[in-house]
Structure 1
Amino acid sequence: MEQKKMIYSGEYGSCIRWWFSAANLYCDTPGMTTNGTLSESSQELVSFAKIYAHYHGYISIFVCLFGIVTNIFNITVLTRKTMRTPVNHILSWLAVSDVITMVSYVPFALHFYCMYPSGSKTVRKNSQSWMTFMIFHINLTATTHTISIWLCVTLAIVRFLHMRSPTKGNAARIRRIYQAKIMVFIVCIASTLILIPNYMSNQLLKDRDSETNETVFVLRDLKLGRNDTEPLVLVNVWVYAVVAKLVPCMLMAIFGSLLIYNIHVKIRHRRKILQISGSNSVRLSEHSRTTKMLLAVIVLFLLTELPQGVLVVCSACIENFFDRVYIPLGDVMDIVALVNNAVNFILYCSMSSKFRQALVHLYCSALLRRRTHENGYTLANSALSKTEGHSNNKGGHS
């Protein structure tokens, strides 16, 4: 999701590559070792990347459209008055962030993957307007994706604090919702500020199409993983890898483990010592399912983000790792992140009865009211037409 584009001109010709995503345009010989040859593992990765690149645009558009619709469902349900809690407030903004990411990804995938071959560089594909959109897309999705990651961390912390000290009374609930709003605001502002080096690293440069000799636009070479890498690029890589990937993953793992521990402790304590009633057992079961649902969201983020954070660090530390490993895996990391953005609705429906009830009540009730209104309107009009017709007939006879 977080892409940066680079142009490389040298002994092996010119190519365009992504940083933090797969190569939209490949060199004839990407993933080269120092002697200009491909290792066997690099050849396999590059072959896989080229094959998958033909399908990535269509798959990602399908996932994005599905995710946009389902996240709109999430927002409308989680923001209902009866569903207002600190956790649901964070989840609703997580859905907003995911929607923005996927809305931006649809035209990107349509233009750079579906309309034009992923291994080409043409005047229309690399026009100034589309490459300007590329920079906008890079910065926007990097920001929204970072916001999503830190919202997931906030979610784990808020849920843990709630389990340690449950809210009692409406005033306490309103206060915690207000605190959740402040935390969401801080996450959005901090994520934007953290990525300022990322915004500053992107610049459009003019290049020449080797076949037509016409002007095309590319992003400047960032020389990642080489001896002449610029300090700003290194700062960007390390800040992004540590602050936007590794640290949030570590926090999610810590608080996720604490949530799992607290689930077992509370269930065992309440059932064994307090001997709770049947109604309380139902409430406790729903409480546990909600926590488990949030744990599933956290685990998905860990599986998506932790490997990418490790790969970003390796790209900065290991020579040629970016070319040989990171670039061929970029599209796969993109689609995994998009799927992660799109599946939360399925998790909510399968693991939260309260969410299902609110969803059914909101949309089914609205549909029934609409049908009732339409049927009533039709019957009224029909009756009115009959009355008017009968009156007209009487008038005609007289």
Structure 2
Amino acid sequence: MLEADPAAQTATAPAVDAAAQTADQGAPITEDQAGRVAALGAEIGHEIDRVLEGKARAVRLAVTVLLADGHLLLEDVPGVGKTLLAKALAAALGARRSRIQFTPDLLPGDITGASIYDQSTGSFTFRRGAVFTHILLADEINRASPKTQSALLESMEERQVSVDGTTYELDSPFMVIATANPVEMEGTYHLPEAQRDRFLAQISLGYPGHEAELRMLAAQTAPLPQDHREPVQQIRARTSPAEVAQLIRLTRRVHASPALLDYIVRLAAATRGHGQVVLGASPRAAVHLVRMLKAAAALDGRTYVVPEDVRQLIGPVWRHRLHLSPQALSRGVSAADVLRDVLASTPLNR
């Protein structure tokens, strides 16, 4: 049910340069600092690409969500590498990770922790749950009841856990990577809207291409050498949690112009007023999009956001939050269709 990785606690990487550590948090990010973010992102992506064939775009988005200080929902059919991506990202970060296998009988206390009565002292002691980690893999999250899923809401939004009137702070960075199977599959529940809105982005890995699947088959069915290690164990830590936390702060200082922020607010309003949408993009969705845009710009080595970033990333960040009307669904309209319509009908400059 629960899998922890204490060995990852000792992984370290070179510290962030002294200038980044001492810089004024309100100052714009410099080109050198953006270059450092880009270089580290490339190193992390390269490590993950070693074990996950043909998924460069998904890996890039996962790293972007990490630096945007968000959470990632991987929604796809079984067997395409969702769990492997989560494990590989944690290994490349040198971060502690925990895993929860979501099942119908999972309880909220299994996630957050619970107060246990100690007969020897006659008092209660708090036993920390799986959420006290850096990377939490919530495997097949939609196989647990909505009540259990809701145990993550406070942790994902406020980076804390409240149990029996006491609040416990979570580690930094803290990222939930949840895998989910399509709701058409047996034994799955719909994710509550409040839960989906807390995931900064949702992506699907899809099936690998022909050549990538051939390489995967050759690698995973070859005779095992004497010193065989699992693919994730071969990944080298390229950074440390402390450095990642610093880089997250750096990405917040990427420049997003007032005109671009106004554009995003108008895009959100357009989804709420769209005739085929019951529930549009929330204010949290707009905030998440800006954070994602800034992280993506830094990963490109830029100190500013451009409109093309919006067009590239609005899908992964907003698609899973839109709730379409029954009439739209019956006609085969998708959230991606709505977002294309909103982008086409909302000009950048008023």
Query: Do the structures match in fold with TM over 0.5?
Result: no
Whichever of the two has the greater Rg, that structure is 1
TM-score by length of 2: 0.24
TM-score by length of 1: 0.22
Which protein is richer in strand relative to its size?
2
Which protein is richer in helix relative to its size?
1
